[in-house]
Amino acid sequence: MKDFNPLELILQASLPVQIVMLILLMASIVSWLVIISKQRVLSRASRSADQFEERFWSGSDLTTLFRDIDDSPGQISGMESIFENGFREFARLRKTGSRDSQRMLDGSLRAMRVALNREVDRLEKHLSFLATVGSTSPYVGLFGTVWGIMISFHALASVNQATIAMVAPGISEALIATAMGLAAAIPAVIGFNHFSNKLERLEVRYDTFQDEFTTILERQADH
C-alpha cells in the first residue's frame, strides 16, 4: 500500500486546484492572526472595564477621576473614554452657566453615545473577515474539488479501459481542497462566534455604565 503524502498530492495537483489551495492557506493564516489579535484586544478591553468600574465605584471624586484620566499619557479607550467624553461635555455645559439640567444631560448622553459607538466599531474591526472566511472557504474548497475531479474524469476519455486506480490520485488531490476549505472555515466560525459573544457582553456593560453614569449626572444637574 502506497503511503499517503498530502504534500506530494498538492504538488501534483492541477494549477487551478493549487491556486485554490493557496488562497485557502492564505485565508487560514490571516484568520489565525485575526483570532490571536482579537483575543488580546477583547481581553484587554474586559480587564480595563473591570479596573475602571472598581475605581469608579470606590467613591472617588468624579472631577478628580476625570482629571486623572485626561492627564494620562496613554490612549483613552473603553469605559474610560465613555466617562471622559460624557463628563467633559457635562462640565463644559455647566461652565457656560446653563441652568437647563435636561440640556446638560442630553449633551452628555450624546457625547457618551458617540464614544460608545466608536469603541464598539474599534472592537468589531476585522470580525467581518472571520465571518467571510467561515462562510466562503468550504465553497472555495468545493470548487477546487469539483475542478480536480472534472480533470480526472476528463483524462479517462483518452483510454480504452478505465480503472479506479487511474482516477484515485486525481480525486485524492481534489479532495484535499475540500479538507483545506474546512480547515480554514472551522476556526474562523468558532472565532467569530466567540468574539461576537464577548463583544456583545462588553457592549452591554458599556450601555449599563452609561445609564448609571447618566443617573449620577442627573442628580448633580439638579443640584
Question: 98-102, 107-111, 129-133, 215-219 — which is least confidently predicted?
Answer: 98-102
pLDDT at 92: 85
pLDDT in tens, 116-162: 999 999 999 889 999 999 999 999 988 888 887 877 777 666 666 65
Instruction: Give the C-alpha separation, 18 to 16, whole Å.
Output: 5
What is the three-state SS of 149-173?
Answer: HHHHHHHHHHCCCCCHHHHHHHHHH
Instruction: Give the C-alpha separation, 89 to 1, whole Å.
Output: 76
pLDDT at 91: 85
Q: Residue 195 in contact with residue 128, Cβ under 8 Å?
A: no
| pLDDT band for position 3 (cuts 50, 70, 90) | low
Average pLDDT across the chain, whole number: 85
pLDDT at 19: 87
Instruction: Give the C-alpha separation, 87 to 110, whole Å.
Output: 11
| 196 pLDDT above the threshold of 90 | yes
| pLDDT band for position 105 (cuts 50, 70, 90) | confident
Q: Hey, what long-range contacts does 48-53 have (CB within 8 A, 24 or more apart)?
A: 48/77, 48/78, 48/79, 48/80, 49/78, 49/79, 49/202, 49/205, 49/206, 52/78, 52/79, 52/80, 52/83, 53/79, 53/209
pLDDT in tens, 73-90: 778 888 999 999 999 988
What is the three-state SS of 118-152?
Answer: HHHHHHHCCHHHHHHHHHHHHHHHHHHHHHHHHHH
pLDDT in tens, 31-90: 999 999 999 999 999 999 999 999 888 877 888 888 888 888 778 888 999 999 999 988
